[in-house]
Amino acid sequence: MQGGSYSYRLFARNDFSAFWALFTDNLINLIVLSGICQFVFQMPAEIVFGRIVPGAAVAILAGVIVYTWLAKRVAEKEGRDVTAMPYGISTPVMFVYLFGVIGPIYWSTQDAMLAWQVGIGAGFMGGIVAGLGAIIGPFLKRVTPRAGMLGTLCGIALVFIGTVPLATIFEDPFVGFASMIIILWGLVGRFRLPYNIPAGLLALGVGTLVALVIGQASISFDGVGFYPPVPYFGDLIAGIQHLFANPELFLVLVPVQIYNFIETMNNVESAESAGDHYPVALCQVTDGAGTMIGALFGSPFPTTAYIGHPAYKRMGAHSGYVIGVGVIIPLAAFFGLLAFLNNLIPVAAAAPVLVFVALSLITNTAHSVKPDHMAAVTLAMMPHVSAFLMVKWGSLMGALGGFGVEGLPQLGDPALTAALLQQGAHYSGHLALSQGAILTGLIWGAIVASIIDGDFRNAGGFALAASVMSMFGIIHGASLHWPDLSAISAGYLIAAAFLFIYPIFHKDDALENKNLPTDEPRPLGDT
């Protein structure tokens, strides 16, 4: 600020490097979803590249416009530079829509068009649910300790955004290592690269060049054309009608959209921990509206404020990096360039960028919560490990079936569960933890952080809420159902009762946590 005035610059030099990181993140999602729709669900290219991808691009553009405006407003209000919220397709929710909504419709009817219609109908209705999160979002943000919100994000970052791409790198080390070392040098180590080349751009370029040399990438113009975004009112209405005719699909739709607006809330908290303060309710409405717009233009997949804001903040980005994504992604979608990039850029060349995003989120969390609360962060991460195991166990069984192994029992078969337990694989426990993992992680992180702070009423409130949610199958259940007092629900009730009642009869200093000062870390178990 000079002379009492301040003008926020939308574009900064560091936006260029941040752009390549966010662009890569969105590009990978678009490549994955288009590949699954085209080759697993047998959707014709006209639907995939002519409707779904342009629709997703319209949704991304709409959200980028709002988040750019919001960053400018916050920056000018506070008189300092801020980093706009990253935005794009929600990766975890994308897979739920693919295999929980679109897949079952296709497999039961073999009708790719109907599967797409139901998908956009589910996306539109899901956007309404996500937007309604704005009603309770500010309250949840106020009562939920930061360790709970950031801890469950760290779990996603660790297993899905970090570990899976890292495995991809090791599957293709010639390409992956060439890209990874540049990311570590330029983004993690923060060393200056020759001629100030953005590390993300150089990593993609080097990885792609290596892939071309060894024959793992190709230059192909198949699928390149003009695909203008068009609203699909009739198809949207048909999809919504099918949803209401088959209400069991809402049992998948509602919980995953609850997850989506919780994810938005967590990502806003992540941005706040990095120093940028955004209104959580407005962000949730933006994500819901963006999802609804995308559905109208042909994309079933929900959009959200992205995980990883601290990484872009650390780069020194303003708003230019999201504006760049909001321009390039639609251009690539409308002119069919996604198919070209899909052939050209190998996944292993882009994967190191995702590893960097995971590293940044976890390290930023460690710096933004009290050292005592790292116990809460750690516990909040654990349900996502269970979710990862369930996904991979399911993939293993699917691969065995596809390989021709006959007589395979289904996961969950009592005899198989008993056999797994004998081998030390706790299927039942991991299954329960995996169902609603983001909510479970948030709840247990909040309980632990509240107990550490001596706020037993808040901890008891989260345990009671968990009991109610588990009764209805929102967490620890395969789908929504009428309330049922399970062993897990009863366990939460017992924990809530203890947290509410015990302090009433023990109002002494033993209930006050008088540990070391919060700016000094201490080992677990020290007193």
Q: Is residue 482 one of the residues assigned to a domain?
A: yes
φ and ψ of 57, to 5 deg:
-65, -40
Q: Do residue 277 and residue 425 come from a single domain?
A: no
How far, in Å, CA of 516 to CA of 527, rounded?
8
Into how many domains does the chain fold?
Answer: 2
**Cβ–Cβ < 8 Å for 319, 251:** no
What averages of pLDDT result for each successive group of 10 residues across the chain (527 residues)?
67 85 81 77 85 93 94 89 89 70 78 90 87 76 80 83 88 93 86 76 88 84 82 93 78 65 80 87 89 94 84 88 93 85 80 81 81 93 90 84 82 88 90 87 93 92 94 83 90 95 72 47 36
Q: Is residue 514 one of the residues assigned to a domain?
A: no
Q: Which helix (H) or strand (E) holds 407?
A: none
Amino acid at residue number 297: F
Collect all residues with Cβ–Cβ distance below 8 Å to 439 and sequence separation of at least 6: 152, 258, 259, 262, 469, 474, 475
Q: Do residue 490 and residue 437 come from a single domain?
A: yes
Cβ neighbours around 128 below 10 Å, total:
13
**Cβ–Cβ < 8 Å for 144, 185:** no
Q: Do residue 353 and residue 437 come from a single domain?
A: no
DSSP 2: B
Q: Do residue 362 and residue 383 come from a single domain?
A: no
Assessment of whether the complete model's pTM goes beyond 0.85 = no
Q: Given this model, what pLDDT does residue 166 score? A: 92
Q: Given this model, what pLDDT does residue 117 score? A: 93
Q: Which domain holds residue 498?
A: 375-400+412-505
Q: Is residue 513 one of the residues assigned to a domain?
A: no
Q: Given this model, what pLDDT does residue 251 score? A: 58
Q: Do residue 320 and residue 202 come from a single domain?
A: yes
How far, in Å, CA of 465 to CA of 365, rounded?
25
Q: Is residue 91 one of the residues assigned to a domain?
A: yes
Q: Do residue 201 and residue 323 come from a single domain?
A: yes
Q: Do residue 265 and residue 348 come from a single domain?
A: yes
Q: Is residue 519 one of the residues assigned to a domain?
A: no
Q: Do residue 100 and residue 183 come from a single domain?
A: yes
Nearest to 24 by CA among 245, 284, 202, 286: 202
Q: Given this model, what pLDDT does residue 231 score? A: 95
Report H helices in 214-319: 233-245, 250-273, 280-296, 309-315
Q: How far is CA 272 from the centre of its chain?
A: 18
Task: Give strand ranges (E) for 291-385.
Answer: 303-305
pLDDT in tens, 444-493: 999 999 999 989 999 999 999 999 999 988 889 877 778 889 999 999 99
Q: Do residue 431 and residue 308 come from a single domain?
A: no
CA distances from 116 to 51, 57, 104, 235, 329 (A): 10, 17, 11, 9, 21
Helix then strand then coil, in percent of the chain rounded to 5, is 75, 0, 25
